[in-house]
Amino acid sequence: MASIEELRTARLQKINKLKEAGMNPYPASVPRSYSIKEVKDSFDDIAPLSMEKNISIVGRVMIVRGQGAILFIVLQDGINRFQAVLKKDELSENVFNLFVDTIDNGDFISVTGSLFVTGRGEQSILIKDWAMATKALLPLPDKWHGLSDVEETYRKRYLDILMDNEVYNRFIIRSKIIKFVRNFFDEKNFLEIETPILQNEAGGAMAKTFNTHHNDYDMDMVLRISLELEHKMLMVGGYERVYEIGKNFRNEGSDPTHLQEFTMIEWYAAYQSLETNMQWTEELIKSIATNLMGKTIFKVYDNEGNGVDVDLGLEWPRITFGEILKKDTGIEIETITFEEVKVEALKWGVKKEDIEKLGRGNLLDKIYKKSSRDKIINPTYIIDYPGDLKPLAQQNENGTAKVCQLIIAGAEITNQYAELVNPIIQRDLLVSQAKAKEGGDEEAMAVNEGFLTAMEHGMPPMTGFGMGIDRLVAIFTEQKNLRDVIFFPTMKPKE
């Protein structure tokens, strides 16, 4: 069997043959009257027209069958395929031989001719002329049913899409979901905005940052971990409802349900309550399920690849963070001391080195994730998290915050807040966070003076929401790994 390099060399030689025959192997354009889909959808209407005047279609050569005086070529355009028939007596010998001598699987070609139906009932085009559209230098894999090496599907997504219709359609679904989300908020009179990815300091979430340096300004910068702060600052300017779909970056571990680079939607609405926020969330996700996907039950997977059926059409119950932690661990979050939290965290398998670095709220969250979250299957709202875990939310008198997370199949789908707009309380909470950061909690927030200044100019009461688009798409397309719903996920370089 010839090596890839030998095959490439042979194809380079075919380029020379094309040039010698006066055919450009990489023309700027080629004849194309209809797409393959249009021909297939309107074959009965187009076929008679093609008998009077030849038509042209373009596609990638996927299969060439036959030999001698007749060849059958399968062309692919997107996921649509169509048969082209090359007969020696229908065109000049030189044109016929040039095709035989230079065409390989993977090439893009334009074929011109008339439509007909073969004796076996196959809709086809009889080639009267042809032109190279793009000469491929590397072959497509043989016996293709999707890449056998999973990592290769991520490194060479273009081949995965080309050869697997399910993958091709999955990314169309992703695009439709994002469009649906945009339409949902557009219809509720939200303004779509864009905010910086490159920032002076991270805020809006608890996460480790990707750090970089601005050479021109000679200052350290980070890639954003959240969209939140800039959104709320813009609300000071008078916008009542804003949203953004954009990239965030968190320099943390990877697994099937977590990636360092991911797409989120965040939105903020003035004069609306957390209750309205939850109602809109349920309306949005249930609408995608019924109106776009046509069903409410989906198989959702955990980090180990275990799938469970989730029914999005059921009622979405609500339970407080304190209630679920007390039920599963016996912990009373309102009365337990920081030292007692550390002891409990050790019991639940939190690493000792993490216990020494993390704050009380983060440790309670670690215990909750180990004791409770994985048990939640159907959509459930967990509300009233520890206040020091949510320093950007309104605080309750009992030490919790007015927040909500939607949990599905053990995974966090949304973060939703009754947003804190009191600059005095906000400063105290961020100062407390900064002390935790100085103590080694890398996920704690820093004091952002620009944000506090904006808040001191007056922010309207508001509610806000954040949701990972990748995770949402994985649920609706029933994928085990977030990488399967991202065109080009980050991968380690090959050795």
pLDDT the model gives residue 444: 67
% the chain with pLDDT above 70: 97
Give residues with Cβ within 8 angstroms of 146, minimum separation 6. Answer: 153, 160, 163, 164, 167
The residues spanned by each domain of the chain are 4-140, 157-316+378-485
pLDDT the model gives residue 120: 93
pLDDT: is 25 or 386 the higher one? 25
Please tell me whether residue 81 adopts helix, strand or coil conformation.
Answer: strand
How many Å apart are CA 92 and CA 403, to the nearest integer? Answer: 75
Q: Is 343 exposed, middle or buried (0-12, 13-18, 19+ CB in 10 A)?
A: exposed
Give residues with Cβ within 8 angstroms of 20, minimum separation 6. Answer: none
Backbone angles phi, psi at 448, to 5 degrees: -105, 100
Give the predicted TM-score (pTM) of the model. 0.90
Two structure tokens written together for 145: 């049913």
Q: What is the pLDDT of residues 131-165, one digit of tens each?
A: 999 999 999 976 545 456 788 889 999 999 999 99
* Residue 285 CB neighbours (<10 A): 23
Backbone angles phi, psi at 281, to 5 degrees: -60, -45
How many Å apart are CA 17 and CA 1, to the nearest integer? Answer: 24
Give residues with Cβ within 8 angstroms of 392, minimum separation 6. Answer: 204, 228, 417, 419, 420, 426, 429
> Do 199 and 212 form a contact (C-beta atoms < 8 A)?
no
Find, among 121, 101, 96, 122, the residue nearest to 111 by Cα. 96
pLDDT: is 364 or 204 the higher one? 364
Architecture of domain 4-140: Beta Barrel (2.40)
Bridge partners of 307?
A: 301
Pairing of strands 123-134, 219-223: unpaired
Q: What is the pLDDT of residues 54-66, one digit of tens each?
A: 999 999 999 999 9
> Do 50 and 113 form a contact (C-beta atoms < 8 A)?
yes
Q: What is the pLDDT of residues 232-274, one digit of tens each?
A: 999 999 999 999 999 999 998 888 888 999 999 999 999 999 9
How many Å apart are CA 152 and CA 478, to the nearest integer? Answer: 21
pLDDT the model gives residue 144: 45
Fold of 157-316+378-485: BirA Bifunctional Protein; domain 2 (3.30.930)
DSSP type of residue 258: B
pLDDT: is 432 or 16 the higher one? 16
pLDDT at 67 exceeding the cut of 90: no
Mean pLDDT of 120-141: 96
What is the 3 state secondary structure string of 164-230?
Answer: CHHHHHHHHHHHHHHHHHHHHHHHCCCEECCCCCEECCCCCCCCCCCEEEECCCCEEEEECCCCHHH
User: How many CA atoms lie less than 13 Å away from 390 in the CB half-sphere?
Assistant: 25
pLDDT at 393 exceeding the cut of 90: no
Backbone angles phi, psi at 433, to 5 degrees: -65, -40
Virtual torsion, Cα 269, 272, 277, 278, nearest 10 deg: 180
The mean of the pLDDT values for the chain is 93
> Do 468 and 262 form a contact (C-beta atoms < 8 A)?
yes
Give residues with Cβ within 8 angstroms of 124, minimum separation 6. Answer: 82, 83, 84, 85, 115, 116, 117, 118
> Do 251 and 285 form a contact (C-beta atoms < 8 A)?
no
Could you tell me the end-to-end alpha-carbon distance of the chain, in angstroms, rounded to an integer? Answer: 25
pLDDT the model gives residue 146: 46
Q: What is the pLDDT of residues 28-43, one digit of tens each?
A: 999 999 999 999 999 9
**Range of lowest pLDDT (334-348, 365-379, 388-402):** 388-402
Q: Is 25 exposed, middle or buried (0-12, 13-18, 19+ CB in 10 A)?
A: buried
Instruction: Indicate the pLDDT class of residue 390, thresholds 50, 70 and 90.
Output: confident
What is the 3 state secondary structure string of 18-63?
Answer: HHHCCCCCCCCCCCCCCCHHHHHHCHHHHHHHHHHCCEEEEEEEEE
